[in-house]
A = this chain, B = another copy of it.
Amino acid sequence: MEENQFEVRTDLAVEAKDMYVEKDESKEEQIEGVVVSEKEIGRVKVTNVEVDEVGAKHIGKNAGSYHTVYSDAIKKQDTSFQEETAKVVTSQLLDLMSKNNVAQDASGLIVGLGNRNVTPDALGPLVVDKVLVTNHLFIHEPQYVQEGYRKVATFTPGVMGVTGIETSDIIQGVMDKYQPGFVIAIDALASRSIERVNATIQLSDSGIHPGSGVGNKRKELSKETLGVPVFAIGVPTVVDAVTITSDAIDYVFKHIGKEWREKDKPSKALAPAGLQLGDQSLSEEDLPSLEKRQKIFGMIGALDEQEKRALMQEVLTPLGHNLMVTPKEVDGYISDMAHLLAQSINAAMHENINIDNFAQYTR
């Protein structure tokens, strides 16, 4: 089996880094040119992946900063936790803007990528619908513009399957006319992990390739090609059947591994039947050894992560069964995530909008 033929593409830098490490278990966790740091802000976890040109070659992502925000506020339908998450997203976006020397009065173009009529792909257009737009006021009614706001315009290019035109061409055409000081593009992504769906927000300054989210590689829009900073905000909203299956097999391994590890522990042996003790979650250390995995799942147990996915993909794709799926509750999740991101962007754009008042600027 050719190794790269079925290699799994990912839009998330944290996944790309993990994949690189998984490929060869002998490799160090520390990758040359890739610096990873983590922190927790309240209930929200943030991972920062800094990739230089050397690291870019290793993990197959552009050089740049990737800030990944983890929060299950949307999935838990917890509105105050959603506000808390929005504040973290605002701070991460401001951090990226500051790293890229975006001036206080630089004008922004917020681009909503994706297909408005396919709910899990509609995140970008829905965010843009809720972003506060000021550019036309600066031009046509400057008397109504207070201090503390910058020029913001928005734009929804559509997708090539609907317009018939390369999305990157449309964006470049509009930028030739509007000439913003920076671009923020919002897009729905595919995830390599079911846990990350609607629970991860990646912010980066490494540019975008419109259309890549659904398997196509189109022309890149980045600081290099456009001359202005291009920030991307991506949220995984779909997974494929290969991911679900691969994740599930891993959970089975870990579950059985944990059972084995714990079976002689007195606490478990003495616990009344049906009583769940302690943490129910599974961790990497629950994963049994290769030998044991092979016992559970034969030759499939012997495959590493990449090989297992490649096999699944080889089997499912020609049958038409490697479909992209999304949680049944997609309408509510996407709507709430759009609200969260629009709040975050509004607060990051304007000095006058901040974490205490952003709710009233966002419908």
Query: Which A residues contact B (CB, under 8 angstroms)?
Result: 79-80, 116-121, 129, 133-137, 151-156, 158, 160-166, 169-170, 172-178, 194-195, 238-239, 241-242, 244-245, 247-249, 251-252, 255, 276, 280-282, 294-301, 311-312, 314-316, 318-319, 321, 323-332, 359-360, 363
6 A-B pairs besides A135-B165, A155-B158, A248-B315 with CB distance below 8 A are A117-B332, A133-B163, A151-B164, A155-B170, A170-B174, A249-B249
Contact B252 A241 (CB under 8 A): no
What are 26 A-B pairs with beta-carbon distances under 8 A?
A116-B116, A118-B329, A136-B161, A136-B164, A137-B164, A151-B164, A154-B164, A155-B163, A155-B170, A156-B156, A241-B248, A242-B248, A244-B244, A244-B325, A245-B249, A249-B249, A252-B311, A252-B315, A255-B315, A276-B318, A280-B319, A294-B298, A296-B298, A296-B299, A297-B300, A297-B301
- Residue of B80, B155, B178, B245 touching A244 (CB-CB under 8 A): B245
Q: What CA separation (Å) do A318 and B279 show in the bound complex?
A: 11
Chain B residues within an 8 Å CB radius of A173: 172-178
> In the complex the two chains form, what is the Cα distance from A176 to B311 in whole Å?
45
Compute how far the CA of A176 lies from the CA of B280 in the bound complex, rounded to whole angstroms.
45
Identical chains in the assembly: 4
How many Å lie between the Cα of A177 and that of B137 in the bound state?
28
Q: Is the CB of B177 within 8 A of A165?
A: yes
Selected contact of A178 from candidates B120, B165, B177, B178, CB within 8 Å:
B165
Question: Could you say which of A129, A136, A174, A242 has the most chain B C-beta atoms within 10 Å of its C-beta?
Answer: A174
Q: Are B177 and A118 in contact (CB under 8 A)?
A: no
A324 to B163: give the CA distance in the assembly, Å.
Answer: 31
Q: How far is the CB of A154 from chain B (nearest CB, A)?
A: 5
> Shortest beta-carbon distance, A10 to chain B, in Å?
17
Contact status B326-A328, CB under 8 Å: yes
Report whether A328 and B360 are in contact in the complex, using a CB–CB cutoff of 8 Å.
no
Which residues in B have their C-beta under 8 angstroms from that of A332?
A: 117-118
Is there an interface contact between B328 and A324, defined as CB atoms closer than 8 Å? Answer: yes
Chain B residues with Cβ below 8 Å from A326 are 325-328, 330
Closest to A335 in B: B363
Q: Is the CB of B360 within 8 A of A79?
A: yes
Cβ B295 vs Cβ A297 within 8 A: no
Q: Which residue of B lies closest to A80 (CB)?
A: B360
Min Cβ gap A335→B in Å is: 9
